[in-house]
Amino acid sequence: MSGRVAVVVGAGGELGFATSVVLANAGFSVTAVDRTAKTLEALPDGIRREVGDATDQAVAKDLVDRIAAESGPPEVLVNTLGAFRPGDALSATPEDLRLMLDVNLAAALWLSQAVTPYMRQRGGGAIVHVSARPASEPTAGMAAYSLGKAALNHLVRILDLELRPDGIRVNAVAPQLLDTARNRAALPPQALAHAVRPEAIADVIAFLAGDLSEHIGGAILPAYGA
């Protein structure tokens, strides 16, 4: 068992993939989690893989329990899960709101609940969630998405207040737009002018997860690009 265990959820996406690699290179024993095994196949050897849907509270707990039993209590949890659905406030549907809250908020809560007992057991840890710029700055045409991410921001601050006495720091990084293959295929070049590479955001996440940020808690760190 490694003394430095990190769990990266949403590792089948480009940001989760990059974060898994960065943390592994930093010396963590990394377990990468995603909903399907296929999305995890490209990860380098040495990174463990687990499959499960963290939007389900029971599944999130089972995942963390299994990782803790096999690798040791996690020191770091990184949650890169996110879903996006455009639409203004007056056209939002119950389905839109449920999806945005389940993926962008609920998974963060369930994962934080699941990992906290193990971090308390080891005497501390770091939790990093991935937010987004519209969570802090109202943006037309992204109502349900903005609400889900704004609720995530508030959750980060609540968790930090509640867990800081246990030595557990909770923070978030907030990109505006990631330079991913999916976004490049869907968006015009001008929209991508300030997009940030997932690897650059992964470095910010690694900073928030590491010892150099030991005095930072409850932060929503902007990473909007130049």
**What's the pLDDT score for residue 182?**
85
Rounded CA gap, 151 and 216, in Å? 20
Q: Give the per-residue pLDDT at 90.
A: 97
Q: Which residues of the chain have pLDDT under 50?
A: 1
Q: Hey, how many other C-beta atoms are within 10 angstroms of the C-beta on 194? A: 12
pTM score: 0.95
Closest Cα to residue 9, out of 67, 77, 106, 72?
77
- Residues 6 or more apart whose CB falls under 8 angstroms from that of 209 comprise 6, 23, 76, 78, 126, 128
Sheet arrangement for strand 76-79: 48-51, 29-34, 5-9, 76-79, 125-130, 168-175, 220-223
Please report the pLDDT score of residue 151 as a whole number: 98
Q: Look at residue 2 in the predicted model and tell me its pLDDT.
A: 53
Q: How far from 168 is each of 120, 123, 142, 193, CA to CA, in Å?
A: 8, 8, 32, 36
Determine the Cα–Cα distance for residues 115 and 51; give it in Å rounded to an integer.
Answer: 17
pLDDT digits over 160-197, tens only? 999 999 999 999 999 998 888 888 887 888 778 788 89
